[in-house]
Structure 1
């Protein structure tokens, strides 16, 4: 096999999970898990990947099913807790406090940063307002921030999600980055 063919084959296998995810997403959007939905999903996925050519995301090639399950269960619990908290803040009399905080991440992987940003935004009560890719800092708008202690607690919470994601799908370098002291940020 020629070096070019090997590189193409390797690129195909590294991008296959994203391609499959596009097909599954298409089928979920239509609410149909049929052969026709799969075929049209494949056609759409091919079209999307050819028209909107994005740089390949670096996958670690490592998946820990136990930590993945722990992540999913804790995430579902956090969704419920966040929804109840936001509902309570909306219904109770008085002023709801909020703030924007900066969270410096410990890992350098773009995919991990994206996972942390999406996870943080999906939990009710917090929303990513900016991601500084160069400095690896996420800026979040968070409800319920009254003082510096609340801001630091929320930073710690986001870093816990980063650690959970790294344990589930991060590379060995990402795991090592978790053990290094984190950079400080204010905000």
Structure 2
């Protein structure tokens, strides 16, 4: 059965190019594709109890970190997700990660995920990187971007609000964590329209 609307972003548009390096407006941060050499930093990030708790993921070996990096490259090629490491522009040191997850380019939708290393938290890194990723996604044609986080995850809520993601609502008992079901906030930004 044919669909009567054109895709928001034509299939293959993203995958036909290399994943770009993004720079924050102040030039202090870069968002770049993960590399094999980043595996030790990624592994170290997943040893942080807060990251493991909120993301309900563990990473037990460097091999898992290397596989994660390879998986990010494959998801770009399939246009299902796009992962960036957030780094300092001066020395390239990883500070965190920003991602478009559950990407649906044809419908112009993606969910955003992020985490920051402990030393980058509270420094304004996450909101600046999130604004940069948002602007890039809009330039590419994405229409609706969502952030989902536990209502108990106050730092994640602050990041979303600082990056002007409005709280749209609460999905009750919608994500299972190690300590049970959590209500989830849904924050949204819609691409600006001309006119």
State the TM-score, normalizing by the size of structure 2. 0.29
Work out which of the two has the higher radius of gyration on C-alpha atoms and give 1 or 2: 1
Comparing both chains, which one has the higher relative contact order based on Cα–Cα distances under 8 Å and sequence gaps of 6 or more? 1
Which structure has the highest strand share of the two? 2
Which structure has the highest helix share of the two? 1
State the TM-score, normalizing by the size of structure 1. 0.30
